[in-house]
Every structure is written in structure tokens, then in C-alpha cells.
Amino acid sequence: MKNPIEALNKIFDSRIRLGVMSILIVNDSISFNELKQLLELTDGNLASHLNTLEQAGYLKVQKSFIGKKTNTTYIITELGRHAFKAHLDALEKMIKGI
């Protein structure tokens, strides 16, 4: 019998990264401040998790200026979309198998 957790993506073990990806999968893009408010996180905590997702190639960062302030926006990549859907499918199969 195959190990049911083998197909799960370790990057999504964190509830914060799971939350970020859940938000990004249903939005075209979202700003750092919106993510911070939605997930109720500190700047440093969110930045750390976003960096992990960016390093994995699961999201893309766009920086722009609104007036004199920087605006950082995040967009899910095709790789990220595929990896997250595969993770959700593996969770569903695991739950149905129990």
C-alpha cells in the first residue's frame, strides 16, 4: 500500500503558505498589505513565507510605485497553480481513502 502522505507537497505544510496559495488561486493578483490583513500576519512572518513560495517558483513578485510608496503585488505562476492543485488532489484522495 502506498503511503498516503507521499503525494503531499511539503512546501504547503505551513498553514500560512497554504493560506497564501488559497488566496492567490482565486485572485489574479494581490498586494502584500492585502495578504497581511487577510492572514493577520506581521510583515516579517509573511515576507518569510512569500520568499519560500517565490524561491520554489510558485509565485511571481511585481513591484511598482503608487505615488512615492512601493506597492508589491503577488501573482501565482503556472507551476504554482499546478503544484497547489496537485496538493489539493492528494489531500482529497487521502481523505477519501480513510
For 42-72, how does the pLDDT look when each residue is reduced to its tens digit (9 = 90+)? 999 999 999 999 999 999 999 988 888 889 9
Give yes or no for a contact between 53 and 11, defined as CB atoms under 8 angstroms apart. yes
Q: Find the CATH number of the domain harbouring 72.
A: 1.10.10.10
Residue 53's domain comprises 10-91
96 found inside a domain? no
5 found inside a domain? no
How many structural domains compose the chain?
Answer: 1
Number of Cβ within 10 Å of residue 87's Cβ equals: 19
**What does the alpha-carbon distance between residue 81 and residue 86 come to, in Å, rounded to a whole number?**
9
Which of 20, 28, 35, 7 minimizes the C-alpha distance to 96?
7
What radius of gyration, in Å, describes the C-alpha atoms of the chain? Answer: 15
- The pLDDT tens digits of the residues spanning 14-38 come to 999 999 999 999 999 999 999 999 9
